[in-house]
Structure 1
């Protein structure tokens, strides 16, 4: 009788489950540094990996090396991050005018923390791996392109991979298995109370975020306005949110809706909310409609259903995973509509044409609103409203 098959099955059963391989854990890890800068969405992508690290090393204090945005959002918020250290402006780490003295002061401050494990989930490692190594941690893990310096344990950096899974695969190098596959951010009671004051009323709340860092990812204002008008016609309150850069789009959406539906219940808080207030408003929303942008990712993390408008390439790296609470509308575009250049970029070093034409303008507002309508009808009981 052949006994090989049961032995193989037993080995499979004994193998830790993760994204990719789960390596052996490190011993006596008390302090962990996680390097993840970038925007709000980038921070959200890191949350499941940080959660996995905390579960594997429950005694460890986890310090996020991030941006002022990360510090503002995570300060006094329950979760796996113990504290946030703001990284200095440096090439490939944080945009701005570099200050060599500030960089040196940062590393002097980090040296006294005596990190046992440093985790790089900040790009391919050309700039971030040398930065991470300067922390002097006993162990280092992260991603690596062929031209990046090596860490103790690495995985290859391949651009087209979902960012959540990429970070989880890195966490697996330290023996950390996933517990969650989507980011989760706790919303404080005071933030929910604040949202009730900012957006009073009992009707369903449809919140729109028209912004995105890359203008090519922005759905036209007239398309958001069409969704807003349909939602208002169905008795929903409509709210537009965003930062100062989103003010022109917010004003245009309000102008178009008020022209199309003079009695519509629509307001804008674009440019008026800090991150805590934004988290509360998103959590209080019935559905959030947005581009591939930080606020849409934050809405997902606080548990609110979303409808996202995506260029097909961004879905691979940043699309919502489930479809019960999160719907995705795709624009199957691979070339610039002005010059015809291939837009299926491979990483930040890829050449890009000078045109900012929207890659998602072909997505139909009626199709987006149909998902909004379905989510308003089917998710309210799940959210206890």
Structure 2
């Protein structure tokens, strides 16, 4: 495999990435690198439907988004299913010069992109995944921003800009305006207490302790969450002594505006934390130690980490970190415990106050 520049300028490049919000945010520097290196090529993102809606509302390096219904269902269907075959036929008519993926070790997607008729394929591959024209091995413990930049380098695409960036639009600001009207111009801290995995959830009582301390320092507290996280957010509010603003109905654009204008964002390791970084907010992220290697921020001027070093399941004492954390859940350990609950309130509050104090200087 080679990482040299292509012999001719590509006219059409597709990138397959059909995953969740945080996964998408960490692809942005690599997507920017491709556009920076090949500015005259059409850059097409093959993604979940929500990405198309999100990018349609704001400037980005992506020229077009094509929804990938098979991948949005997990691509657990046979590769010769009617849905997949129809999609492959449509993609062949696109005549992509390059298709690359940022979608894991290749076992589920390499055979898929090899059916799309591109002149060159690139991405990640661990056996028994099908070969690609250019590939790097998937080694789990690697920062995801740098992993995706390494994939972009397979087609000679480079950039000096490592931080993900998302532009907040006037429409985003308008969506967030009703929430900010309640705040009435006072400085506010956003607390996002949800996450998709219980093992990444810091306890509601501890979030409440941080929130109450920040209220005493003069900050309003905004508790954000997805609609499915309403119970988690409500539990934080109930545990608080002070009052907070509950916010579980914003679309991603409105959430981006709310995060950007905050004094600080405190969050579990989940998508809105990555979005907060991408819009320029200061953050305190609550992490399980192994996940810092993949999902921690590259810089520390605006970002701090509260890290749990607990590696053993609280119930069975098994270390579920091989071959990678929680993916898949080990059959001998699927106990529903938080691996970050042991982080003290002080380890979140102290870096939060440090960042807030620095912002005032």
Same fold? TM cut 0.5:
yes
Structure 2 residue 306 is matched with structure 1 residue 351: no
Structure 1 stretches lacking a partner, 5+ long: 1-20
Match of 1:268 in 2: 246
The C-alpha deviation readout for 1:294-336, integer Å capped at 9, x for no partner, is 0000000000011000000100010011111010111001111
Correspondence 1:238-257 to 2 at 5 A = 238-257=221-240
Q: Tell me how far 1:195 sits from its aligned partner.
A: 2.2
Give the equivalent residue in structure 1 for 2:136.
155
Distance 1:239 1:112, change over 3 A: same
Cα distance in 2 between the residues matched to 1:227 and 1:68: 36
> 1:295, 1:193 → 2: CA distance?
19
Q: Which residue of 2 aligns with 1:86?
A: 67
Q: Distance in 2 between matches of 1:374 and 1:217?
A: 24
Are 2:206 and 1:223 equivalent residues in the alignment?
yes
Tell me whether 103-112 or 357-366 shows the greater mean CA deviation.
103-112
Aligned partner (choices 74, 78, 81) of residue 95 of structure 1: 74
Moved more, 353-362 or 100-109: 100-109
Q: Measure, in 1, the Cα distance between the counterparts of 2:50 and 2:344.
A: 33
SS of the residue aligned with 2:322? coil
Q: So what's the TM-score if we normalise by structure 2?
A: 0.93
Deviation at 1:366, TM superposition (A): 2.0
* 1:104 CA displacement: 2.5
Q: Distance in 2 between matches of 1:64 and 1:245?
A: 27
CA distance in 1 between counterparts of 2:328 and 2:342 reads 27
| Count of residues in correspondence between the two structures | 353
Structure 1: how far apart are the matches of 2:293 and 2:133?
Answer: 28
Residue 130 (structure 1) aligned with residue 107 (structure 2): no
Displacement, 1:68?
A: 2.0
Normalising to structure 1: TM-score of the pair? 0.87
Deviation digits for residues 49-68 of structure 1 (CA, Å, limit 9, x no counterpart): 10000011000111111112
1:64 maps onto 2:45 in alignment: yes
Match of 1:292 among 245, 248, 269: 269
Is the Cα contact below 8 Å between 2:200 and 2:268 reproduced in 1? yes
Paired residue secondary structure (1:199): helix
